[in-house]
Structure 1
Amino acid sequence: MFRFKQFTIHQDRAAMKVCTDSCVLGAYAELGTGGRLLDIGTGTGLLALMAAQRTPTARINAVEIDQAAFGQATDNVSDSPFSDRVRVIQGRIQTFSAEPYDRILCNPPFYTNHLRSPDQAINRALHNDELPFEELITSVVRLLKPEGQFWVLLPPSEMQRLVVIAEKAGLHPYQQLEVRHNDTKPVFRTIAGFVFDRFAPPKIEQLSIFNPDGKLYTESFRQLLQPFYLNF
């Protein structure tokens, strides 16, 4: 169980647990002030609930393929203050149909041809067999408004692959956040915002989670997660 300031995430039935980088995505992505928002592969419902806290008038759909995770997310949403604005839907995003969204969020599975777990739910959450990048981008292009934004979290090498696929489909990165454990470590996650129109190279920002001692959080990280973390 992971308690945030305004909601609680139970995660005993979901393969994808709460992680720091996903929290950074939920806090950093530009969500606007309302409208329609889609969370692809919601897992526990974390990103959908963070988005609901940040955008008091947004209507949010959260799609999840795994039965156990769908049930977990449904319960987490039902127990939250945002249950009237967040709807959890079980199904494949490739066949999901809805009116276009203003914002789409995704923390997708990204492992390809890696060692598998005996637990199929873990494989579904971590490996991209069920949602290859090409199918993810096709779904985003189909479901995103022309003026909308798509926000995604990936390791740097996988983000490079996704950018190539996205640009062929007409989506272009306009803003990126490079995340490090601390200033002495390499970038281990990249968060990117994509739009259909590109006017300039993407704006690139940096975030270190910890100070160089590896123990204390940086002030930038504390400010970003302050609305959510109980200890900030």
Structure 2
Amino acid sequence: MGSIFRFKRFEVDQSGCAMKINTDGVLLGALAKHRHPGHILDIGTGTGVIALMLAQRFDTVKVDAVEIDDQAAQRAQSNFNRSPFAERLHVIQGSFQDMEVPCQYDLIVSNPPFYINALHNPNDRKKLARHTDLTFFHNLVDFSVQALRENGILQLILPSELAIEVADMAKSVGLVLVEEVRIKSYPDTEYIRTIISLKKDTAETKTSTSLVIYEDKDLYTQSYKELLRDFFLAF
């Protein structure tokens, strides 16, 4: 497979990026929700695919994309520049902890590193992209509660057990779980990922839905195909 991943309205060059396009990223890009987002922040943008998907879905939104890895940040900016949405996409190279927040955001999204307490990857750049500890998530929720507008939403895709832990952690800073999308590979398997939506102090009742990716081996469900029909050439 080449380094270029082609979507219906844009393409993503993945060369030099430690983390390639994956199912988690495209699911978050397709499922992230906000009624009328004016400004979105994508934390750990990598190739830039989530930011590009959001720019396609919300045709007036501006997206800032922060990326700590210099090579990935340059690649994301290149992908943005070659897209139809170039004027609405902006890369910030560095960590979100150190960035100067240019505005408050309606929506913050992240497909973060999540291999907590796992054997670390010997490749330093892949380790940076994939491994973290709970301090990262404490920093993330602390940052988000300051950087979000009053009705803003933080949305993360995480392994299902970690999603519960992070949602519980977020309560302490006033971010409340209002929605979860639980994801499984096949109808008869366990849930492997959850997209959680966290809002500032709210009395909203939590909603929960589910998504199954495959009906059978190499056979996608109709729900998955409908979700990604506007993006994937194969659908």
Same fold (TM over 0.5): yes
More displaced stretch, 157-166 vs 28-37? 28-37
Letter in structure 2 aligned against 1:46: V
Aligned with 1:228: secondary structure?
coil
**Aligned partners of 1:111, 1:183: CA distance in 2, in Å?**
25
- Tell me what 2:49 maps to: 46
**Aligned partners of 1:207, 1:61: CA distance in 2, in Å?**
28
> Between Structure 1 and Structure 2, how many residues are aligned?
231
**Aligned partners of 1:193, 1:130: CA distance in 2, in Å?**
18
1:121 lines up with 2:120 in the alignment:
no
- Of 7, 32, 35, the residue aligned with 1:32 is 35
Give me the TM-score of the superposition, normalised by structure 2.
0.94
8 Å contact kept, 2:42–2:63: yes
Distance 1:85 1:200, change over 3 A: closer
- Tell me what 2:141 maps to: 137
**Aligned partners of 1:131, 1:16: CA distance in 2, in Å?**
21
Distance 1:166 1:130, change over 3 A: closer
- Of 21, 25, 43, the residue aligned with 1:18 is 21
Aligned with 2:142: secondary structure?
helix
More displaced stretch, 4-13 vs 108-117? 108-117
**Aligned partners of 1:19, 1:56: CA distance in 2, in Å?**
24
Cα distance, 1:161 vs. partner?
1.3
**Aligned partners of 2:54, 2:192: CA distance in 1, in Å?**
23
- Of 179, 194, 201, the residue aligned with 1:197 is 201
8 Å contact kept, 2:24–2:111: no
8 Å contact kept, 1:11–1:44: yes
Cα distance, 1:201 vs. partner?
4.0
**Aligned partners of 1:178, 1:55: CA distance in 2, in Å?**
24
- Tell me what 1:165 maps to: 169
8 Å contact kept, 2:115–2:130: yes
8 Å contact kept, 1:33–1:57: no
- Tell me what 2:64 maps to: 61
- Of 213, 221, 226, the residue aligned with 2:224 is 221
**Aligned-residue RMSD, C-alpha:** 1.4
CA deviation map 1:60-103 (0-9, x unaligned): 10000001111110111111111100001101101212211011
User: Which runs of 5 or more residues in structure 1 are unaligned?
Assistant: none
- Of 187, 207, 211, the residue aligned with 1:207 is 211
Cα distance, 1:200 vs. partner?
4.3
1:77 lines up with 2:80 in the alignment:
yes
**Aligned partners of 2:164, 2:204: CA distance in 1, in Å?**
18
Q: How does 1:92-111 map to 2 (within 5 A)?
A: 92-98=95-101, 99-111=103-115
Aligned with 2:219: secondary structure?
coil
Aligned with 1:132: secondary structure?
helix
Aligned with 1:12: secondary structure?
coil
Cα distance, 1:197 vs. partner?
2.9
Give me the TM-score of the superposition, normalised by structure 1.
0.95
- Tell me what 2:233 maps to: 230
**Aligned partners of 2:77, 2:213: CA distance in 1, in Å?**
30
Aligned with 1:72: secondary structure?
helix
1:179 lines up with 2:183 in the alignment:
yes
Cα distance, 1:187 vs. partner?
0.5
